[in-house]
Copies of this chain bind each other. A is one copy, B any other.
Amino acid sequence: MSKPHIILSRPQLGENIGAAARIMYNFGLQNLRLISPRDGWPNKKANTLSSGGGCVVDNAILYSNLNNAINDLNFVFSTTIRSRKYSKEVFTPEEGIKFAKKLIDSGNSVGILFGSERAGLEKHEISSSNAIISIPVNENFKSINLSHAVAVVSYEWFKNIESKNFQIKRDEKELEFVKKIEVEKFVKQLKSQLQQKGYFWPEDKIESLNLNIDNLFYSLKLTSPNLKTLFGIIKSLQKNK
Protein backbone atom coordinates (compact mmCIF):
# COMPACT_ATOMS: atom_id res chain seq x y z
CA MET A 1 0.00 0.00 0.00
CA SER A 2 1.20 3.48 -0.85
CA LYS A 3 1.29 5.78 2.15
CA PRO A 4 1.67 9.51 2.74
CA HIS A 5 5.14 11.05 2.76
CA ILE A 6 5.95 13.00 5.91
CA ILE A 7 8.00 16.07 4.95
CA LEU A 8 9.83 18.09 7.61
CA SER A 9 10.80 21.53 6.36
CA ARG A 10 13.89 23.07 7.96
CA PRO A 11 13.72 20.98 11.15
CA GLN A 12 16.14 22.27 13.79
CA LEU A 13 16.78 19.55 16.35
CA GLY A 14 17.99 16.06 15.44
CA GLU A 15 16.09 14.89 18.52
CA ASN A 16 12.80 15.98 16.97
CA ILE A 17 13.59 14.28 13.65
CA GLY A 18 14.37 11.06 15.52
CA ALA A 19 11.25 11.29 17.68
CA ALA A 20 9.12 11.99 14.59
CA ALA A 21 10.63 8.98 12.80
CA ARG A 22 9.92 6.75 15.78
CA ILE A 23 6.26 7.73 16.13
CA MET A 24 5.79 7.51 12.33
CA TYR A 25 6.94 3.90 12.45
CA ASN A 26 4.76 3.22 15.52
CA PHE A 27 1.85 4.21 13.32
CA GLY A 28 2.93 2.41 10.16
CA LEU A 29 4.42 5.33 8.19
CA GLN A 30 7.90 4.99 6.72
CA ASN A 31 8.39 7.68 4.09
CA LEU A 32 10.30 10.61 5.58
CA ARG A 33 11.63 13.59 3.62
CA LEU A 34 13.82 16.29 5.12
CA ILE A 35 14.30 19.76 3.70
CA SER A 36 17.58 21.41 4.83
CA PRO A 37 17.78 20.21 8.45
CA ARG A 38 19.55 23.00 10.37
CA ASP A 39 22.15 20.78 12.02
CA GLY A 40 23.02 18.77 8.91
CA TRP A 41 22.32 15.21 7.87
CA PRO A 42 22.92 12.46 8.94
CA ASN A 43 22.48 13.46 12.57
CA LYS A 44 23.52 11.28 15.52
CA LYS A 45 20.81 12.63 17.82
CA ALA A 46 18.15 11.68 15.28
CA ASN A 47 19.45 8.11 15.32
CA THR A 48 19.50 7.99 19.12
CA LEU A 49 15.99 9.36 19.56
CA SER A 50 14.46 7.22 16.82
CA SER A 51 14.82 4.17 19.06
CA GLY A 52 13.37 1.15 17.20
CA GLY A 53 12.28 3.40 14.33
CA GLY A 54 15.82 3.70 12.99
CA CYS A 55 14.79 2.31 9.60
CA VAL A 56 12.76 5.48 9.01
CA VAL A 57 15.75 7.68 9.82
CA ASP A 58 18.07 5.56 7.67
CA ASN A 59 15.77 5.82 4.67
CA ALA A 60 14.94 9.51 5.06
CA ILE A 61 15.55 11.45 1.86
CA LEU A 62 17.31 14.81 2.02
CA TYR A 63 16.26 17.77 -0.16
CA SER A 64 17.76 21.21 -0.49
CA ASN A 65 14.49 23.06 -0.98
CA LEU A 66 10.73 22.68 -0.89
CA ASN A 67 10.24 22.48 -4.64
CA ASN A 68 12.59 19.54 -4.97
CA ALA A 69 10.93 17.81 -2.04
CA ILE A 70 7.41 17.97 -3.45
CA ASN A 71 7.95 18.00 -7.24
CA ASP A 72 7.05 14.34 -7.69
CA LEU A 73 3.95 14.42 -5.46
CA ASN A 74 0.39 14.90 -6.67
CA PHE A 75 -1.08 16.47 -3.56
CA VAL A 76 0.50 18.20 -0.58
CA PHE A 77 -1.08 19.12 2.75
CA SER A 78 0.39 21.88 4.89
CA THR A 79 -0.02 21.50 8.64
CA THR A 80 -0.70 24.82 10.35
CA ILE A 81 -2.97 26.35 12.95
CA ARG A 82 -3.00 29.65 11.06
CA SER A 83 -5.39 28.39 8.44
CA ARG A 84 -7.64 31.40 8.09
CA LYS A 85 -5.24 33.53 6.15
CA TYR A 86 -5.10 31.15 3.22
CA SER A 87 -7.86 30.46 0.77
CA LYS A 88 -7.33 26.72 0.94
CA GLU A 89 -9.54 23.94 2.17
CA VAL A 90 -8.90 23.15 5.85
CA PHE A 91 -9.15 19.59 7.19
CA THR A 92 -8.98 18.18 10.70
CA PRO A 93 -6.28 15.49 10.98
CA GLU A 94 -8.91 12.74 10.66
CA GLU A 95 -10.62 14.34 7.65
CA GLY A 96 -7.24 15.04 6.05
CA ILE A 97 -6.04 11.48 6.48
CA LYS A 98 -9.26 10.06 5.07
CA PHE A 99 -8.99 12.37 2.08
CA ALA A 100 -5.32 11.43 1.65
CA LYS A 101 -6.32 7.76 1.54
CA LYS A 102 -8.91 8.51 -1.18
CA LEU A 103 -6.26 10.33 -3.19
CA ILE A 104 -3.79 7.47 -2.77
CA ASP A 105 -6.42 4.90 -3.74
CA SER A 106 -6.99 6.75 -6.99
CA GLY A 107 -3.30 6.65 -7.82
CA ASN A 108 -2.02 9.92 -6.38
CA SER A 109 1.05 10.40 -4.21
CA VAL A 110 0.50 12.51 -1.12
CA GLY A 111 2.82 14.55 1.10
CA ILE A 112 2.15 16.10 4.50
CA LEU A 113 4.35 19.07 5.24
CA PHE A 114 5.46 20.17 8.74
CA GLY A 115 7.30 23.42 9.48
CA SER A 116 10.28 24.12 11.69
CA GLU A 117 10.16 24.12 15.49
CA ARG A 118 10.71 27.87 15.60
CA ALA A 119 7.62 29.12 13.84
CA GLY A 120 6.02 26.35 11.83
CA LEU A 121 5.50 26.66 8.09
CA GLU A 122 6.15 29.96 6.35
CA LYS A 123 3.58 31.63 4.11
CA HIS A 124 5.31 30.67 0.88
CA GLU A 125 5.48 27.04 2.01
CA ILE A 126 1.76 26.94 2.75
CA SER A 127 1.04 28.58 -0.59
CA SER A 128 2.81 25.73 -2.35
CA SER A 129 0.42 23.18 -0.89
CA ASN A 130 -3.02 22.06 -2.04
CA ALA A 131 -4.81 22.06 1.30
CA ILE A 132 -4.32 22.51 5.02
CA ILE A 133 -4.49 20.12 7.97
CA SER A 134 -5.12 21.92 11.26
CA ILE A 135 -4.81 20.09 14.58
CA PRO A 136 -7.55 21.13 17.01
CA VAL A 137 -5.80 22.67 19.99
CA ASN A 138 -6.23 24.73 23.18
CA GLU A 139 -6.74 28.36 22.10
CA ASN A 140 -4.54 29.45 25.02
CA PHE A 141 -1.56 27.37 23.98
CA LYS A 142 -1.34 26.46 20.34
CA SER A 143 2.34 25.72 19.87
CA ILE A 144 2.66 21.95 19.40
CA ASN A 145 6.04 20.23 19.49
CA LEU A 146 7.08 19.08 16.00
CA SER A 147 7.18 15.36 16.78
CA HIS A 148 3.83 15.58 18.57
CA ALA A 149 2.23 17.15 15.51
CA VAL A 150 3.66 14.29 13.42
CA ALA A 151 2.34 11.91 16.11
CA VAL A 152 -1.24 13.16 15.85
CA VAL A 153 -1.35 12.94 12.05
CA SER A 154 0.39 9.52 11.99
CA TYR A 155 -1.95 8.25 14.72
CA GLU A 156 -4.98 9.23 12.65
CA TRP A 157 -3.45 7.37 9.69
CA PHE A 158 -3.02 4.16 11.65
CA LYS A 159 -6.32 4.51 13.49
CA ASN A 160 -8.38 5.14 10.36
CA ILE A 161 -6.49 3.22 7.68
CA GLU A 162 -4.26 0.50 9.06
CA SER A 163 -5.58 -0.53 12.44
CA LYS A 164 -7.94 -3.22 11.17
CA ASN A 165 -5.53 -6.01 12.02
CA PHE A 166 -4.91 -4.46 15.40
CA GLN A 167 -8.63 -4.29 16.07
CA ILE A 168 -9.27 -7.84 14.92
CA LYS A 169 -6.58 -9.17 17.19
CA ARG A 170 -8.12 -7.27 20.04
CA ASP A 171 -11.58 -8.56 19.20
CA GLU A 172 -10.41 -12.17 19.13
CA LYS A 173 -9.31 -11.75 22.69
CA GLU A 174 -12.27 -9.57 23.58
CA LEU A 175 -13.15 -9.75 27.20
CA GLU A 176 -15.81 -12.38 27.73
CA PHE A 177 -17.92 -12.07 30.79
CA VAL A 178 -19.15 -15.23 32.48
CA LYS A 179 -22.74 -16.36 32.12
CA LYS A 180 -25.27 -15.72 34.82
CA ILE A 181 -25.36 -19.42 35.71
CA GLU A 182 -21.69 -19.32 36.68
CA VAL A 183 -22.22 -16.28 38.89
CA GLU A 184 -25.19 -18.08 40.48
CA LYS A 185 -23.01 -21.10 41.20
CA PHE A 186 -20.53 -18.84 42.95
CA VAL A 187 -23.15 -16.89 44.89
CA LYS A 188 -24.76 -20.14 46.02
CA GLN A 189 -21.47 -21.53 47.28
CA LEU A 190 -20.60 -18.22 48.96
CA LYS A 191 -23.94 -18.06 50.73
CA SER A 192 -23.65 -21.67 51.81
CA GLN A 193 -20.32 -20.96 53.44
CA LEU A 194 -21.48 -17.70 54.99
CA GLN A 195 -24.40 -19.67 56.40
CA GLN A 196 -21.99 -22.03 58.11
CA LYS A 197 -20.08 -19.09 59.56
CA GLY A 198 -23.23 -17.54 61.04
CA TYR A 199 -23.30 -14.56 58.68
CA PHE A 200 -27.09 -14.51 58.26
CA TRP A 201 -28.15 -13.15 61.59
CA PRO A 202 -30.43 -11.90 63.11
CA GLU A 203 -33.28 -13.64 61.34
CA ASP A 204 -35.15 -10.47 60.30
CA LYS A 205 -32.09 -9.39 58.34
CA ILE A 206 -31.68 -12.61 56.35
CA GLU A 207 -33.56 -11.30 53.36
CA SER A 208 -31.72 -8.00 53.11
CA LEU A 209 -28.33 -9.67 53.68
CA ASN A 210 -29.09 -12.03 50.80
CA LEU A 211 -30.24 -9.17 48.60
CA ASN A 212 -27.05 -7.25 49.31
CA ILE A 213 -24.92 -10.16 48.17
CA ASP A 214 -27.02 -10.66 45.03
CA ASN A 215 -26.88 -6.96 44.19
CA LEU A 216 -23.14 -6.95 44.59
CA PHE A 217 -22.18 -9.98 42.53
CA TYR A 218 -24.81 -9.79 39.82
CA SER A 219 -23.90 -6.21 39.02
CA LEU A 220 -20.22 -6.96 38.59
CA LYS A 221 -18.97 -7.68 35.11
CA LEU A 222 -16.99 -10.82 35.90
CA THR A 223 -14.65 -12.72 33.64
CA SER A 224 -13.68 -16.36 34.09
CA PRO A 225 -10.36 -15.46 35.76
CA ASN A 226 -12.23 -13.05 38.07
CA LEU A 227 -14.62 -15.81 39.10
CA LYS A 228 -11.83 -18.31 39.58
CA THR A 229 -10.14 -15.83 41.91
CA LEU A 230 -13.38 -15.33 43.84
CA PHE A 231 -13.84 -19.10 44.28
CA GLY A 232 -10.27 -19.32 45.51
CA ILE A 233 -10.88 -16.54 48.01
CA ILE A 234 -13.96 -18.09 49.62
CA LYS A 235 -12.38 -21.54 49.60
CA SER A 236 -9.41 -20.11 51.43
CA LEU A 237 -11.47 -17.99 53.84
CA GLN A 238 -13.61 -20.91 54.98
CA LYS A 239 -10.58 -22.80 56.24
CA ASN A 240 -10.40 -23.02 59.98
CA LYS A 241 -6.83 -22.17 60.77
Contacts and interface: CB of A to CB of B under 8 A. Distances in A.
Contacts of A27: 137-138
A163 B175 contact: no
Contacts of A84: 173
Contacts of A114: none
Contact of A87 (B22, B83, B89, B175): B175
Contact of A143 (B51, B89, B226): B51
A23 interface: yes
Contacts of A165: 139
User: Chain A: interface residue count, which band?
Assistant: 35 or more
Which of A136, A137, A145, A162 counts the most chain B CB atoms within 10 A?
A: A136
Interface in A118-175: 134-139, 141-145, 147-148, 151-152, 155, 158-159, 162-163, 165-167, 169-170, 173-175
B170 A134 contact: yes
Nearest to A55: B141
Contacts of A87: 175, 223-226
A130 to B, nearest CB: 11
Contact of A136 (B148, B166, B174): B166
A145 B51 contact: yes
Interface string A29-72: 00000000000000000000001110000000000000000000
Contacts of A83: 170, 173
Interface in A170-187: 170, 173-175
Contacts of A166: 136-137, 139
**Top 5 A-B pairs, shortest CB-CB distance:** A87-B223, A136-B163, A87-B225, A136-B166, A84-B173
28 contacts: A19-B145, A22-B145, A22-B148, A23-B145, A23-B148, A25-B138, A26-B137, A26-B143, A26-B144, A27-B138, A28-B138, A51-B145, A52-B143, A87-B175, A89-B221, A90-B174, A90-B175, A92-B159, A134-B170, A136-B159, A136-B163, A136-B166, A136-B167, A137-B166, A138-B158, A139-B169, A151-B151, A152-B152
